[in-house]
Structure 1
Amino acid sequence: MHLKERMLTMAYDSLQRLLLDNLTTAVVLLNGELRLEYMNPAAEMLLGVSGQRSLGQFVSELFSEMPDGLAALRQAVASGHPFTKREAQLLCNSLQPPLTVDYTATPMTGLGGALLLLELHPRDRLLRITKEEAQLSKQETTRLLVRGLAHEIKNPLGGIRGAAQLLSRELPDPALKDYTNVIIEEADRLRNLVDRMLGSNKLPQLAPVNIHEVLARVCSLVEAESQGRLSLVRDYDPSIPELLADSEQLIQALLNIVRNAMQAIAARKQPAEPGQIVLRTRALRQFTIGHQRHRLVCRVEVIDNGPGIDPALQDTLFYPMVSGRADGTGLGLAIAQNILNQHQGLIECDSQPGRTVFSLFLPLEQGVPTP
C-alpha cells in the first residue's frame, strides 16, 4: 500500500473513532470470542466501566442479560444474522440495579475475524428524563406559588409590626408593652420564615471551583458536629476538572443534605451497624438534565445507611415545609434544590431502608445562571 493510501486509511479510521466517541448511543464491539474490542464513552457511562481497562474482558464480566443472553450472542456470531431485543434486563458488576435496555446485535467481519457490534439504547434514561422534566415543572410551579404567597404574607406583616410599635409608644402602663413585644417578635419570626422559604434572590457568583475542596469543607463541619459518632467515607474521582460555581452556595446545599443524612442516622433504633455517610464523585459524559444535554457533568452522591425515607414523602421531598422529622422545618432540601437549579443542575433521591442516595448533578460547563 502506498504512503498516501495508508495516510488516507488512518485518517478515515480516526474519523470513524471520532464519530463513535461522540455518539449518544452506547456502542460495544466484541470479537468472535465475545471479548471486548472497543466501547465508546456513551457505553462507558451506561455500563459504569472504563473501556480502556476492560479491553479483552469477556462480555459477562461487563454485563449479563437475564436470564441468559450469551446463547443469543453466540448464535448471532455463528449464523451471521443480526437480532434486536426489547426491554432486556442487564446486570452490571459496577451497578446495583439492573439496566433496562433495547439492544441490537450485528455480526460483522473484520481484519481479525468475526466481530459483533452491540448498540444499546437505555430505557431507564428515557424514564429518568421524563421524571426530571416533571420534577422541574413541579418545582417551578411551587416556587411561583411560594413567591406569590410570601408577597401576600409579608405586606400585612409589615403593617401589623408597625401598628404594634405605634401602639407600644401610646400605652400608659409599661407592663402592657409585653403584649406588643410578643406581636412584634412573632411578626419578625414569620417574616424570617418566609425569607427562608424564598431562599436567596442573589444570582450565584460563578468562579472556578474544585468540587473536592467544597466537600472537604463540608466534611470538616460535619465531623465537628458529629464528634466521632459516624464515619465519613470519601470516594473521589480526581480527574474531575474545576467547574464554574458559587462555592459558598454549593457548601450550603451539600451541608443541608449531609446534615439530613446525619440526623436520619442518629434517629435509627437499635442500629445493626455503625452510622456511615459516603461522599462519592464521578464524571458523566453526554448527560441530560431536563431538556439540555451536557458534554460533561459532575455527579456528587451522598449515601447514608439510615432508615430510609418514607415512600409517602419521596415525591414531595423537595417541596418547602415538607419534612419527615417532627422537629424539621422542611426547608433544607428545598433550598439545596433551588441552589442546584440556579447552577443549571438537579438533585435526585433514591431511598430504601438501610440505603439512601442523594445525587447532585452539576454541569462542568456553565451558561448564564438561572435566576
Structure 2
Amino acid sequence: MSANDVPAPGPADAAQIVLNTIRRPVIMVDADDHITYANADAEDFFRVSAAMLARATLERFVPFGSPILALIEQVRERLAPVNEYRVDISSPRLGVEKIVDIYVAPVPELAGSVVVMFQERSMADKIDRQMTHRGAARSVTGLAAMLAHEIKNPLSGIRGAAQLLETAVSDEDRALTRLITDETDRIVSLVDRMEVFSDERPIERYPVNIHVVLDRVKAIASNGFARKINILEDYDPSLPPVFANRDQLVQVFLNLIKNAAEAIGSRTDGEITLSTAFRPGMRVSVPGSQDRVSLPLEFCVHDNGSGVSEDILPILFDPFITTKPNGSGLGLALVAKIVGEHGGVIECESTPRGTTFRVLMPAWKDTSLPQDDHKGGNPA
C-alpha cells in the first residue's frame, strides 16, 4: 500500500490527534465531575496517566474548594463558556505557585459535560517580564546617550578647574577641591556605566562552554568579593554549548554572583550554588529576527541570603532599582539587557531563606564546530 493509499483518520481519531497537538492541558468532565477525557499535556500537568485520571473525579486532583469547581457549575447553569485568569491551584500534587488561566466551555451534545483548558501563567509571565526588561533597557539607552553628551563634557571642565584651584588655595580649602575632583570622577564613572546601555552593535555569538565561564567567574569571586563565601557547583557535564558571547556571559554571572555575595553579607555560613541543567525550554522571539528559538539551557545562581522583598521583586531588573545605600541600580538592569539581547530569559525567585536567579539560554545548534573553551573569540 502506497502512502497515498493510507486511509485518512476518522473523526474521533482526528479529534484525538488535534487535542494531543494542542500544547495546553485539556480535560472533559461529565455531569458528576468524573474526568472522561484528558489529552497528553493534561497527563503531564496532573502528573498521572489518562487511565488514572478516568478513575476519579476532578476534586481529587485540585485543591479543596478550588474555584475551578465553581466555574464548572457556572458553565453548566449558563450553558456558556467562562474564562478565569490567574487562578491559584497550588497543591502538593500540582506543585507550589501553580497559577493558571482557565477556559471552561459546555459540551451541548453531552448533558452536564464541560471541557476545561488550562494555561500556566508562569510561561506567559516569563515572557511578559522579559519584554518589560527589554523596554526598560531601551529607555535607559536614550538617557545614557543624553548624559554622555550633556554631562561628561562640562564635568571635565569642572574637574580641571578644581585641579587648578588646588595649587592656589590653603591646606584647609584643598580638601574641598579634592572633594570636587572625587565627586566629578564618581559621576563620570556612573555615566560610563550607563553608556553600556547605548551600545546597539550586533552581538558576536558562537558556541561557548558555560562551565568554563562559570569556573572563571568563580575564580574571580573567590579571590575577591566572595573570598569568605563557600561557592558550590552542581553542573550537568553533558550540557551542549550555549550560543552566546563569552565575555558578556562572564559579565552577567559576575554581576549575579556579586549580587548574591552582597545579599549574604557577613554571614559565616554563606553559600552560593552555581548550577547548570538541560530543561525542556520555551520558545521566544530573538531580537532583530523573525525566528523563534528554544531555550533549553538553564543556569542558576542561588544564595542563602535573606532574600528580596516582595515589593522590589517585580521591578528588580528595572534601572535604578536597588536596596543598597550606595548602589546605582544598573547591575541587574545590565544583566537583563545582555540576556535579552541573546534571546534568553532571566527570572528571580526569592524567599526569606534565599534567592535564585535563573537564566534560560539557547543552545548551539551545529555541534560539528568545537566549542569555545579558552578564549572569547570565534572557535577556530
TM-score range, shorter chain: 0.5 to 0.7
Matches of 2:294 and 2:96, distance apart in 1: 23
User: Could you tell me whether the CA contact under 8 Å between 2:342 and 2:361 is conserved in 1?
Assistant: yes
Q: Which residue of 1 aligns with 2:301?
A: 302
User: Could you tell me whether the CA contact under 8 Å between 1:102 and 1:123 is conserved in 2?
Assistant: no
- Which one-letter code corresponds to 1:353 in the other structure? P
Bigger relative CO (Cα 8 Å, ≥ 6 apart): 2
Q: Which residue of 1 aligns with 2:195?
A: 198
Matches of 1:26 and 1:143, distance apart in 2: 38
Could you tell me the TM-score, scaled by structure 1's length? 0.65
Matches of 2:157 and 2:95, distance apart in 1: 57
Distance 1:287 1:337, change over 3 A: closer
Matches of 2:66 and 2:182, distance apart in 1: 68
Shift of 1:134: 3.9
Matches of 1:293 and 1:224, distance apart in 2: 41
The partner residue of 2:137 within 124, 136, 139 is 139
Q: Which residue of 2 aligns with 1:332?
A: 331
Matches of 1:36 and 1:210, distance apart in 2: 44
1:230 and 2:230 are equivalent in the alignment? yes
Cα deviation, 1:205-245, whole Å, max 9, x if unaligned, reads 2111233443343344444554563352526494x543321
Identity within the alignment, %: 26
Q: Which residue of 2 aligns with 1:284?
A: 281
Distance 1:286 1:192, change over 3 A: closer
Distance 1:358 1:312, change over 3 A: same
Q: Which residue of 1 aligns with 2:156?
A: 158
Distance 1:196 1:135, change over 3 A: closer
User: Could you tell me whether the CA contact under 8 Å between 2:100 and 2:118 is conserved in 1?
Assistant: no
Distance 1:48 1:220, change over 3 A: farther
Matches of 1:145 and 1:300, distance apart in 2: 31
1:275 and 2:275 are equivalent in the alignment? no
User: Could you tell me whether the CA contact under 8 Å between 1:349 and 1:359 is conserved in 2?
Assistant: yes
User: Could you tell me whether the CA contact under 8 Å between 2:207 and 2:364 is conserved in 1?
Assistant: no
Matches of 1:15 and 1:181, distance apart in 2: 79
Matches of 1:276 and 1:136, distance apart in 2: 27
User: Could you tell me whether the CA contact under 8 Å between 1:300 and 1:359 is conserved in 2?
Assistant: yes
Q: How many residues align structurally? A: 341
Could you tell me the TM-score, scaled by structure 2's length? 0.64
Distance 1:365 1:147, change over 3 A: farther
Shift of 1:253: 0.7
User: Could you tell me whether the CA contact under 8 Å between 2:133 and 2:318 is conserved in 1?
Assistant: no
- Which one-letter code corresponds to 1:275 in the other structure? E
Equivalent residue runs for 1:192-271 within 5 Å: 192-199=189-196, 201=199, 203-225=202-224, 226-227=226-227, 229-234=229-234, 236=236, 238=238, 241-267=240-266
User: Could you tell me whether the CA contact under 8 Å between 2:133 and 2:333 is conserved in 1?
Assistant: no
Matches of 1:6 and 1:13, distance apart in 2: 20
- Which one-letter code corresponds to 1:120 in the other structure? F
Distance 1:36 1:362, change over 3 A: farther
User: Could you tell me whether the CA contact under 8 Å between 2:80 and 2:105 is conserved in 1?
Assistant: yes
- Which stretch of the first structure deviates more once superposed, 334-343 or 12-21? 12-21
User: Could you tell me whether the CA contact under 8 Å between 2:305 and 2:354 is conserved in 1?
Assistant: yes
Equivalent residue runs for 1:1-371 within 5 Å: 7-8=6-7, 23=22, 25-27=23-25, 39=40, 47=45, 58-59=52-53, 64-67=62-65, 86-87=84-85, 89-91=88-90, 93=93, 95-103=95-103, 119-127=117-125, 129-163=127-161, 167=164, 186-199=183-196, 201=199, 203-225=202-224, 226-227=226-227, 229-234=229-234, 236=236, 238=238, 241-267=240-266, 275-277=271-273, 279-281=275-277, 282-287=279-284, 294-298=292-296, 299-364=298-363
Matches of 1:347 and 1:123, distance apart in 2: 16
Query: Unpaired segments of 5 or more residues in structure 2?
Result: 71-78, 108-113, 366-380
User: Could you tell me whether the CA contact under 8 Å between 1:286 and 1:293 is conserved in 2?
Assistant: no
Cα deviation, 1:307-336, whole Å, max 9, x if unaligned, reads 112344335433444432235443321221
